[in-house]
Amino acid sequence: MNATELTIEKFESFLLDVPTIRPHILSMATMHSQTIVLLRITFSDGTVGLGEASTIGGLAYGDESPEGIKVSLDSYFAPLLLNQPYKSVGGTMLRISKNIVGNRFAKNAIEIALMDAMGHRLGVPVSELLGGRIVDHIPVLWVLASGDLSKDIAEAEEMIASRRHNVFKIKIGKRSVDQDVAHVAAIKQALGDAASIRVDVNQAWTRWQANRGSAMLADAGIDLIEQPLRHDDIEGMKQLVQQGRIAIMADESVQGPKIAFDMTTAYSADVYSIKIAQSGGLSEAARVASIVSISGAAPYGGTMLEPHIGTMASAQLFSTFPSLEWGTELFAPLLLKEQYVNETLDYVDFGLTVPNSPGLGISLDEDKVSYFSRK
């Protein structure tokens, strides 16, 4: 090995358990805390890159869990990377893909860290490594997920008044269609034209429920339904789109470029949630966004409730999108009671400001990392 060759000298992963400000209720789970896989990669030139992975409700949501991600990173990814010649982000991710099947969330954490380090090495933000940003401020919605009508309305009104959020997503699917629609309609009626209201069913409805619910939600003035059907029911999603009652967004269905291509060619959604973890990394998420945009559908900036590092990585990518008609949902750092980074993300004027500092623009508060680390 050439003495001047760049190598990865350290590969460290941590599990952090951070409590949320309130219960976050989904159709398949209720979250009281978020478990985060934190990754730190140190190169032979002293450059450090940070990565992050998280899931929603553990294995109740998808096929990767924080604990499994950490085991995979330590047992399979680290041996591929440690003390090996390092040439580029793309070359490294290709080598990983040839040796490790699946594990999209873990691969995402790796690529975030590699791009963060590259940004620091070159003195540019990660957005410049992804084609260059178009905007410095991206719209961000807030999720009303307490399940309590009066609390949801009060929370939304406070967000609008403080100019933090004026677009709201409501998690439904645990109750009957009639109960859920009544809850959502009451919130829309209370907020009126001051807010856009969307719902996220998280795959909980049958086709019959979706047909009935979509008509009722459209009549109530709701703007969009996210993933009403199972992730693999592409035909059912297509039928809802063809009815044209209300915008239909695909989320759990969008698991990488190939599936995005299949769905867009079948006209199975109006809007597609782009998630860097679900796509398998920043580069793959950028490919998904290109496919969606070329198809004439709309890309949307999604989240796996990644806190500060994952959120900023997503924001760096989303800032390069030519259009964000439906905005983003990069609210996860605001859902945590405490933060474990030194920087406070700038949520203002109904959105998030994307910093221009090198890499992700994020550094760790080592004391907080130690405090929240699972022992």
The catalytic site residues sit at 171
Identify the CA nearest to 348 among candidates 193, 166, 89, 84.
166
Cα first-last separation, the chain: 37
Q: Is 7 helix (H, G, I), strand (E, B) or coil?
A: strand
Tokens of 348: 């203002």
Residue pair 353/125 in contact (Cβ under 8 Å)? The answer is no
User: CA angle, 269 as apex, 107 and 184 as ends, to 5°?
Assistant: 100
CA atoms within 13 A on the CB side of 84: 15
**CA–CA distances in Å: residue 265 to residues 112, 225, 320:** 29, 20, 24
Identify the CA nearest to 227 among candidates 203, 199, 245.
203
